[in-house]
C-alpha cells in the first residue's frame, strides 16, 4: 500500500555579478597621468561564484581583479593609479563582469607643453661687454595650464630665467632685458629653453675697440735740456668695432700732449707730437705714448746744455805801471753734458774797447784764453776788468800807476815830465821846474823811487843815475 508525503524544495538562482556605484564616472585626465577607478560588485544570484572584473579603456582591458562572492554578497573593487596612456581625445571606459557592465566618458587631455615659437633677434651680433635684450614667444600647446621656468642660455651657460604660467592653448612673450655679454670674440649659440622645447640661433660676439701702441720713436734717446723733441707712434684698434680714444704723450708721468683718434676695427694711424719742449733737470726719465688701455714707453736722457764757466783768471787783482804790458789769462771750462761753442769777452774799465774770442769745448774740457791790454793808452787809476761768457763771469781790479819814479819826496805828489823828453825834471811834483826840484833830487838821491827808476832821472844821458845827474838837472836852470 502506497503512502504519500510532501517535501519543500529550494531552488537557488545562478550567480550574477552586477556592477554599481561606478566612480568617477564621466571624468577628465591628462594623458599619461594616473587616476583611480572604483565600482561595487554584487552577486545577485543565489550561489557563490568567482569572476574576473575588468577595467577597460576604449575597449582595451587595462587591469583586472578576481572576485569571489557568495550569493547576495557585494564588495568594492578598486583600480588605483591607472595610467591613461592614450592620445588626447574622448574615450569610453568602464568596469565589466561576465554579467554586467558600467560605462562612462573619459576625456584625455594633452599635457602642458611649452613650445618656443619664435626668438628675436636671430643671428645676433653684439660687442663684448655690451648687453643683449632678446624676446621669445612661448605657446602652451597642451590642454592644461602649467608653470615652467624659461631659460636664456648663451654659449651653454644660463644667463637669465623667467617663471611663467600659461593656460592650455595660450601664448605669452618672455623678455630678457639687458643681459650682459662678457665673452671673448667669437661665434656662440644662444637660445631660449623650456622643459619641452628650445629655439637657438648663432650669436657673433665682436671684440670691443682695443687700442694698442707700437713703433714708438725715437725710442731710448737723449735731448739737451731746453731743446725740443719729436715723438711718433703707431696706434692700432685691434678690436672689431670702431672706437675713439685720447692718445697721450707723457713725460715723467705728466701729460705734455694729446690727440683724439677714431679708428674702425682693425685699422691703425700714425700719431705724431712735434716740437715738444723738454724743460727738465738733467737725468733719466720715462716717456711714452698711451691710450686708455695700454702704452709704449722708452727712456729719455735729459742732458745739461753746454755751460761755459770762468774757472780762473790771472791776474785777478794787480798793480801795473802804465805803459807796461798786461796779459790776462782766463781758464774757460765746459761743465755741461754736450759739446758747445761760446764767446769769451774781456773788458778793461769802461773806456777800453772789449775784446772777444770764441772757444769750442767738449763736455768736461777746459782751455786757457789770453787777453793783452795796452796800458800806455790808459790813464793811471783803478779799473775793474772782467772775463765773461754767456753763462758766467769773473772780475777783479787792476791799478795802473803812472810811469816814472812816482812820489820822490814823499809828499804824495809824483814827479812829472814837463817837456815830454822822458826825464822827470819836476821832481817834487809841484807842476814847475825850479831849483827846489834840484834840491829835492839831491836830498832823495838814495830813495827807492830814485834808485828804482834811473832812466826817468838820467839827466846826463849816461844810462844810470848818479850825483852827476843832480848837477846836470841844475845846469838846465841856466
Phi and psi, residue 256, nearest 5°:
-110, 0
Q: pLDDT for 64-81, tens place per residue?
A: 999 999 999 999 999 999
Asked if 19 contacts 101 with a C-beta cutoff of 8 angstroms, the reply is yes
Facing residues of 104 across strands? 93
Cα 20 to Cα 25, 41, 393, distances in angstroms: 11, 6, 136
By C-alpha distance, which of 413, 416, 441 is closest to 426?
A: 416
Residue 10: the pLDDT is 52
CA 35 to chain centre: 70
The C-alpha cell 565600482 sits at 39
Residue 2: the pLDDT is 39
Q: In whole angstroms, what is the distance from residue 126 CA to residue 253 CA?
A: 36
Q: pLDDT for 444-458, tens place per residue?
A: 999 888 888 888 888
Is pTM beyond 0.95? Reply is no
By C-alpha distance, which of 418, 400, 417 is closest to 453?
A: 417
Cα 175 to Cα 53, 136, 152, 160, 172, distances in angstroms: 54, 7, 10, 10, 10
Q: In whole angstroms, what is the distance from residue 438 CA to residue 432 CA?
A: 12
211: exposed, middle or buried (C-beta count within 10 Å: 0-12, 13-18, 19+)? Answer: buried
By C-alpha distance, which of 66, 54, 63 is closest to 97?
A: 54
Asked if 12 contacts 47 with a C-beta cutoff of 8 angstroms, the reply is yes
Q: In whole angstroms, what is the distance from residue 190 CA to residue 434 CA?
A: 132
| Straight-line distance from the first to the last Cα atom of the chain, in angstroms, rounded to the nearest whole number | 247
Which residues are CB-neighbours of 168 under 8 A, at least 6 positions away?
109, 110, 112, 140, 142, 143, 144, 145
Question: How many other C-beta atoms are found inside a 10 Å radius of the C-beta of residue 308?
Answer: 23
435: exposed, middle or buried (C-beta count within 10 Å: 0-12, 13-18, 19+)? Answer: exposed
Per residue, what are the HEC states of the chain?
CCCCCCCCCCCCCCCCEEEEEEECCCEEEECCCEEEEEEEEEECCCCCEEEEEEEEECCEEEEEEEEEECCCCEEEEEEEEEECCCCCEEEEEEEECCCCEEEEEEEEECCCCEEEEEEECCCEEEECCCEECCEEEEEECCCCCEEEEEEEEECCEEEEEEEEEECCCCEEEEECCCEECCCCCEEEEEEEECCCCEEEEEEEEECCCCEEEEEEECCCEEEECCCEEEEEEEEEECCCCCEEEEEEEEECCEEEEEEEEEECCCCEEEEEEEEEECCCCCEEEEEEEECCCCEEEEEEEEECCCCEEEEEEECCCEEEECCCEEEEEEEEEECCCCCEEEEEEEEECCCCCCEEEEEEECCCCEEEEEEEEEHHHCCCEEEEEEEECCCCEEEEEEEEECCCCCCCCCCCCCCECCCCCCCCCECCCCCCCCHHHHHHHHHCCCCHHHHCCHHHHCCCCCCCCCHHHHHHHHHCCC
* Helix axes of 467-475 and 435-443: crossing angle, nearest 10 degrees: 180
Phi and psi, residue 338, nearest 5°:
-135, 160
- Profile the chain (478 residues) by mean pLDDT over runs of 10 residues: 47 87 95 94 96 96 96 97 90 96 96 96 92 96 95 95 96 96 94 96 93 94 93 93 94 93 94 93 94 90 96 92 85 96 95 92 96 84 94 93 80 83 87 91 90 86 90 88
By C-alpha distance, which of 215, 268, 275, 218 is closest to 245?
A: 268
Phi and psi, residue 347, nearest 5°:
-125, 135
Residue 106: the pLDDT is 96
Amino acid at each position: 500500500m502506497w503512502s504519500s508525503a510532501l517535501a519543500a524544495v529550494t531552488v537557488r538562482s545562478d550567480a550574477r555579478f552586477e556592477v554599481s556605484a561606478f566612480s568617477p564616472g564621466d571624468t577628465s585626465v591628462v594623458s599619461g597621468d594616473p587616476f583611480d577607478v572604483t565600482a561595487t560588485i554584487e552577486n545577485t544570484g543565489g550561489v557563490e561564484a568567482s569572476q574576473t572584473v575588468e577595467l577597460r579603456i576604449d575597449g582595451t582591458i587595462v587591469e583586472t581583479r578576481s572576485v569571489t562572492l557568495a550569493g547576495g554578497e557585494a564588495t568594492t573593487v578598486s583600480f588605483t593609479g591607472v595610467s591613461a596612456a592614450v592620445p588626447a581625445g574622448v574615450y569610453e571606459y568602464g568596469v565589466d563582469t561576465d554579467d554586467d557592465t558600467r560605462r562612462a566618458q573619459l576625456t584625455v587631455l594633452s599635457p602642458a607643453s611649452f613650445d618656443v615659437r619664435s626668438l628675436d633677434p636671430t643671428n645676433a651680433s653684439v660687442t663684448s661687454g655690451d648687453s643683449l635684450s632678446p624676446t621669445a614667444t612661448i605657446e602652451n600647446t597642451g590642454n592644461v595650464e602649467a608653470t615652467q621656468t624659461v631659460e636664456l642660455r648663451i654659449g651653454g651657460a644660463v644667463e637669465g630665467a623667467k617663471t611663467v604660467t600659461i593656460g592650455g592653448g595660450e601664448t605669452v612673450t618672455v623678455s630678457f632685458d639687458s643681459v650682459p655679454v662678457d665673452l671673448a670674440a667669437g661665434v656662440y649659440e644662444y637660445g631660449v629653453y623650456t622643459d619641452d622645447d628650445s629655439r637657438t640661433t648663432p650669436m657673433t660676439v665682436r671684440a670691443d675697440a682695443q687700442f694698442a701702441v707700437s713703433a714708438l720713436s725715437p725710442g731710448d734717446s737723449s735731448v739737451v735740456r731746453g731743446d725740443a723733441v719729436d715723438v711718433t707712434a703707431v696706434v692700432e684698434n685691434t678690436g672689431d668695432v670702431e672706437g675713439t680714444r685720447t692718445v697721450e704723450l707723457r713725460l715723467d708721468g705728466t701729460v705734455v700732449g694729446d690727440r683724439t683718434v677714431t679708428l674702425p676695427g682693425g685699422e691703425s694711424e700714425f700719431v705724431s707730437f712735434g716740437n715738444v719742449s723738454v724743460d727738465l733737470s738733467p737725468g733719466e726719465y720715462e716717456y711714452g705714448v698711451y691710450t686708455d688701455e695700454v702704452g709704449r714707453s722708452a727712456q729719455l736722457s735729459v742732458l745739461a746744455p753746454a755751460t761755459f764757466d770762468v774757472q780762473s783768471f790771472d791776474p785777478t787783482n794787480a798793480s801795473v805801471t802804465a805803459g807796461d804790458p798786461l796779459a790776462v789769462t782766463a781758464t774757460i771750462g765746459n761743465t755741461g753734458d754736450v759739446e758747445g761753442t761760446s764767446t769769451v769777452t774781456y773788458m778793461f774799465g769802461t773806456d777800453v774797447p772789449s775784446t772777444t774770442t770764441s772757444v769750442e769745448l767738449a763736455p768736461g774740457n777746459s782751455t786757457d784764453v789770453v787777453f793783452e791790454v795796452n796800458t800806455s793808452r790808459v790813464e793811471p787809476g783803478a779799473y775793474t776788468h772782467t772775463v765773461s761768457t754767456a753763462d758766467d763771469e769773473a772780475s777783479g781790479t787792476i791799478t795802473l800807476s803812472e810811469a816814472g819814479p812816482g812820489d820822490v819826496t814823499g809828499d804824495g805828489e809824483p814827479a812829472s815830465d814837463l817837456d815830454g823828453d822822458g826825464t822827470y825834471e819836476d821832481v817834487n811834483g809841484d807842476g814847475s821846474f825850479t831849483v827846489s826840484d834840484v834840491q829835492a833830487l839831491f836830498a832823495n838821491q838814495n830813495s827807492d823811487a830814485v834808485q828804482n827808476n834811473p832812466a826817468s832821472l838820467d839827466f846826463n844821458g849816461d844810462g844810470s843815475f848818479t850825483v852827476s845827474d843832480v848837477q846836470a838837472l841844475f845846469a838846465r836852470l841856466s
